[in-house]
Amino acid sequence: MNLARRRLQGIFDRLLRAHGPQQWWPGESVFEIMVGAVLTQNTAWRNVARAIDNLRRAEALHPAALLAVHPRRLATYLQPSGYFNVKAKRVRAMTRWLLDAGGTAAITRWPTVRLRAALLAVHGIGPETADDILLYAFNRPVFVIDAYTRRIFSRLGLVSGQEGYETLRAAFEAALPPDAAVYNEYHALIVAHGKDVCRVRPCCETCVLRRGCRYARSGARLSDS
């Protein structure tokens, strides 16, 4: 791995110039962002937005109100986001945990290490979802690793892409100052770049990261991870 601060800052600057501020995360409350983080697992955001609209219309975007919805009805609200039965269970588990813990006002005072460990113990919340919640709902300086991060940074030649989640997260956090605003924007820019430019079939000709990219230099065609 070769994640030097200067290199990461240069990549951030170029991505920001290319894509502009992303202003993540769309959501009107901490709880809505938490629900969105679970629903976005394995699906595009436009599908999540439709599911959240259903919850909003049903006035179920509050913890107690959501738990009062019958599980089968909840699953129908979540249908646009895919895997809706699984996600209904996960959203309910997270909401029950949240209420047991005292609600968002209580857990927002918890230190990041405690909050992260508690989130990871909730059914259906893995490291990426937990870190989405920590960063975007609770403004904690936690660097989110996803498939786009692995694809872009492995093509650039800065990581192998096979590292474990915690190894990559720790490496990014060691290289960058702990600034939640920067981590917020950086992850959003990585997603924008992974969707629009460094796709499975990358558009290297128009890419602002082309200079210094190992993949573009070699012309290799790596399979998407």
The two structure tokens encoding residue 131: 């870190």
| Shortest CB 173 distance to ligand SF4, Å | 22
| Shortest CB 22 distance to ligand SF4, Å | 17
Residues in the interface with ligand SF4 (CB under 6 A) total 14
Is residue 155 involved in binding ligand SF4 (CB under 6 A)? yes
Q: Which stretch binds ligand SF4 (CB under 6 A): 31-39, 53-61, 93-101, 149-157?
A: 149-157
Is residue 209 involved in binding ligand SF4 (CB under 6 A)? yes
Query: In this chain, which of 152, 158, 176, 192 binds ligand SF4, going by CB under 6 A?
Result: 152
Q: What are phi and psi of 205, to 5 degrees?
A: -60, -30
Is residue 11 involved in binding ligand SF4 (CB under 6 A)? no
Q: By the 8 A CB rule, do 80 and 50 touch? A: yes
Which long-range CB contacts under 8 A does 203-206 form with residues at least 24 apart?
Answer: none
Whose Cβ is closer to ligand SF4: residue 61's or residue 216's?
A: 216
Whose Cβ is closer to ligand SF4: residue 89's or residue 210's?
A: 210
Residue of 122, 110, 107 lying closest to 31 (CA atoms): 107
- Alpha-helical regions (H) of the chain: 5-19, 30-39, 45-57, 63-68, 71-78, 84-100, 104-107, 112-120, 127-132, 147-156, 165-175, 180-196, 214-218
Do you know the residue count of the chain? 225
Is residue 156 involved in binding ligand SF4 (CB under 6 A)? yes
Query: In this chain, which of 42, 197, 201, 219 binds ligand SF4, going by CB under 6 A?
Result: 197
Q: Which stretch binds ligand SF4 (CB under 6 A): 38-46, 141-149, 162-170, 205-213?
A: 205-213
Using CA atoms, how far residue 76 sits from 43, 96, 109, 142, 169, in Å, is 16, 19, 34, 33, 35
| Shortest CB 94 distance to ligand SF4, Å | 34
Q: By the 8 A CB rule, do 109 and 133 touch? A: no
Which residues here bind ligand SF4, judged by CB under 6 A?
152, 155-156, 197-198, 202-204, 207, 209-210, 213, 215-216
